[in-house]
Structure 1
Amino acid sequence: MTGKETERPRWAPPVLRGDRLEAGLRTLELDVRRRLDGLLQGNHLGLVPGPGSEPGEARPYQPGDDVRRMDWAVTARTTVAHIRETVADRELETWVAADLSPSLDFGTALCEKRDLVVCAVAAIAHLTGGGGNRLGAVLSNGADTVRVPARGGRAHARGLLRKLAELPRAAEGTRGELSTMIEQLRRPPRRRGLVVVVSDFLGATSWERPLRALSARHDLIAVEVLDPRDVDLPEVGTVVLADPESGRQREVRTSALLRREFAAAAQAHRDQVARALRQAGAAHLVLRTDSDWIADTVRFVVTRKRRWSGGAA
């Protein structure tokens, strides 16, 4: 093990390539189970489509509760405002669109963005597993698309992650079409469930319309994967910038003016992506290659649990 590897934080994603793939997948599974176990406590509040449809127990109204869940019969009998809890739906079917186009074959921090895509899908598989739930996926590197039928069980989830991690890198100049992947999740129509789109959302936003159409039937989560160099250009003198999805290259000098313009353009694009996802009704999780991705996922899930349980966000 090199000195650089020994300095990696404990939360850094494992290496998921070459002869270290199998060991990395085992380490990833252990990390996800150890740090995410117990979050859902037997139900799926936080990742299910809505708070559920089965009626549960009534409890007194608290500030911040959704007034649409008022139980007027109990309120009339007790003269105290009550709301009706709901039990989360079972047998959840989750579909994942995992983008591994060439723009994700990049990373300047603790891992490449494509490694973080595998980690995100591992977390989703763990958080939605069990109870007869099923997980399916559409995986694409821009050149080839692999469709994994929705099935249940830990062995199926492991096989899906292995297929994702082993998906070959597309040749430079290959442009990924996220909108095409999303359209594949719409047809054929499926029962209401959960859809998770994992991508860096770089480039054109042609995915907005199909994403809105998808959210009309399913609960939607968008996982945006970022690297520090996606949003900030360091002062490194003259450098060659390359677009991995078009193959175009340009030599530039990283002057103070260029770095300010780059940061402003990157922030404007991120704001545009966040706005488009919000308008599509998608919950937005951001994972970075220089941040504790499991801790970020935990905060995201806990926030969703509080919202769906009726508490203040």
Structure 2
Amino acid sequence: MLTPEILHALHNLPLAAKQAAEGFLHGQHQSRRHGTGMEFSQYRPYQPGDDLRRLDWRLAARSDRYYLRESEVDTSLTVHLLLDATASMNHRDDNGLRKLDYARLLLAALAYIATQQGDAVGLTILHPAGLQHLPPRADARQLARLYHALETTEATGTFPDAGTLAPLTARRQRALTVCVSDLYEQDSEIESLLKRLRTTSGEVLLLHVLARNELEFTFRGAITFEDLETGQRLQLDADQQRTTWQQQLQAWLETTAQQARRRGFDYHQLSTADPLDRAMREFMRRRMLLS
């Protein structure tokens, strides 16, 4: 299985996304259901109560039996990808991968999968100075647009204010919103945005990305930590503080997960060391439930 480090080392986001997604999609079938769409699928015998308008009378005349024409309709969705590109996403793991690098790979792979499923895919990158927004489309060039936006994005500053975020929730549009963030916030601003998106768009899949060195606190000796968004610094002895750090982190993670699920978000915690297939599996599971 291709690890995030190997995919990142390709220095080619379209190729990395395709490699990760196609390995996952192997054996997957396009999401379709039987219905009354335009693409003919099969016949089935008439049963009492069926709509007589769907009977194939020519076949009935030839065979003296009654059959209904069934069709297949695509169960495509609108998928809205949301990237937290604030400065805390620049935190680098021991494997050299930033949280932003992992998020890019993940969202690129999800965009590839959604495109293969026939979905209209859009992307919003959250910057303090404004929103970089690509409206959902299902045309052939959309994937290249998404890749370019992800490749050229850098993480800076703090989370946008409510006024900057207002256009995202200005109108109702049914969609599956996939947010990738480390959920570092000053005053519940990320939660507030996702609550509004849950109301206006429907489903929210929240992928909470943390570096493994944060989760396992792999630091040693005297060390200075700097808040990448505020510039505040903290000096401590990592060996002495390891147990306290991990206890407080676990308490925060448990509270975060509980609150997210209470708000109706489909919440999953990820590490920058995790293969992408776990998140892709959750995306496909949620997508199938909506189809």
Query: Smaller-chain TM-score range?
Result: 0.7 to 0.9
One-letter amino acid matched to 1:219: E
1:218 counterpart residue number: 202
Partner of 2:221: 237
The runs of 5 or more residues in structure 2 that have no matched partner are: 37-48, 51-71
Partner of 1:252: 236
**What SS does the corresponding residue of 2:80 show, helix, strand or coil?**
strand
Residue 282 (structure 1) aligned to one of 255, 258, 265: 265
Q: Distance in 1 between matches of 2:138 and 2:113?
A: 13
Are 2:128 and 1:116 equivalent residues in the alignment?
A: no
Alignment identity in percent? 18
Letter in 2 for 1:288: S
Give the Cα–Cα distance (whole angstroms) in 2 for the partners of residues 122 and 177 of structure 1. Answer: 23
Which one has the bigger strand percentage?
2
- Choose from 11, 31, 34 the match for 1:43: 31
Contact 1:116 1:287 (8 Å CA) reproduced: no
The 5 Å alignment of 1:186-205 reads 186-187=169-170, 189-204=171-186, 205=188
Shift of 1:154: 4.6
Q: Distance in 2 between matches of 1:160 and 1:276?
A: 31
Match of 1:62 in 2: none
Change (3 A) 1:146 1:114: same
Following TM superposition, by how much is the alpha carbon of 1:219 offset from its aligned partner in structure 2, in angstroms?
A: 1.5
One-letter amino acid matched to 1:99 = D
Answer whether contact 1:208 1:276 (CA < 8 A) is retained.
Answer: no
Alpha-carbon distance between aligned partners in 2 of 1:191 and 1:91, rounded to the nearest angstrom: 14
**1:217-255 deviation line (CA, Å, top 9, x unaligned):** 412111111102322323511101100000111221124
For the pair shown, the structure with the greater C-alpha radius of gyration is: 2
Shift of 1:144: 4.2
Specify the alignment match of 1:34 in structure 2: 22
Change over 3 Å in CA distance of 1:301–1:175 after alignment to 2: closer
Counterpart among 2, 8, 12 of residue 15 in structure 1: 8
Tell me how far 1:166 sits from its aligned partner.
0.8
What does 1:37-116 correspond to in 2, within 5 Å? 37-38=25-26, 40-43=28-31, 90-110=75-95, 111-116=97-102
- Is 1:266 aligned to 2:249, yes or no? yes
Partners of 1:223 and 1:284 within 8 A in 2: yes
Contact conserved, 1:135 with 1:151, CA < 8 A, in 2?
yes
Q: How many aligned residue pairs are there?
A: 255
Asked if structure 1 preserves the Cα contact closer than 8 Å seen for 2:125 and 2:132, the reply is yes
- Change over 3 Å in CA distance of 1:33–1:210 after alignment to 2: closer
**Matched position secondary structure for 1:107:** coil
Query: 1:28 deviation in Å?
Result: 0.9
Q: For residue 237 of structure 2, what is the amino acid of its counterpart?
A: R
Amino acid in the other structure paired with 1:251: Q
Asked if residue 145 in structure 1 is aligned to residue 137 in structure 2, the reply is no
The answer as to whether partners of 1:43 and 1:88 remain within 8 angstroms in 2 is no
The 3-state SS of whatever aligns with 1:207 is: helix
Q: Structure 1 CA distance, aligned partners of 2:230 and 2:133?
A: 25
Give deviations 1:98-137, integer Å, cap 9, x for gaps: 1111111122233111011112212221232146531111
Give 2:146's aligned residue: 160
Give the aligned residue type for 2:222: T
Q: Please report how far the alpha carbon of residue 97 of structure 1 lies from its aligned counterpart in structure 2 after TM superposition.
A: 1.3
Equivalents in 1 of 2:238, 2:81: separation in Å? 38
Alpha carbons of structure 1 residues 92 and 156: separation in structure 2 relative to 1, 3 Å = same
> In the alignment, is the contact (CA less than 8 A) between 1:118 and 1:165 conserved in 2?
yes
| Cα distance between partner residues in 2 of 1:99 and 1:289 | 15
Q: Decide whether aligned partners of structure 1 residues 186 and 30 sit closer, same or farther in structure 2, where only a CA change above 3 A counts.
A: same
Matched, 1:128 2:101: no
Distance 1:96 1:302 in 2: 14
> Which sections of structure 1, spanning at least 5 residues, go unmatched?
1-8, 45-51, 56-72, 75-86
When residues 120 and 53 of structure 1 are mapped into structure 2, their CA distance, relative to the original with a 3 A threshold, is farther
SS in 2 for 1:15: helix
1: CA distance, partners of 2:193 / 2:130: 20
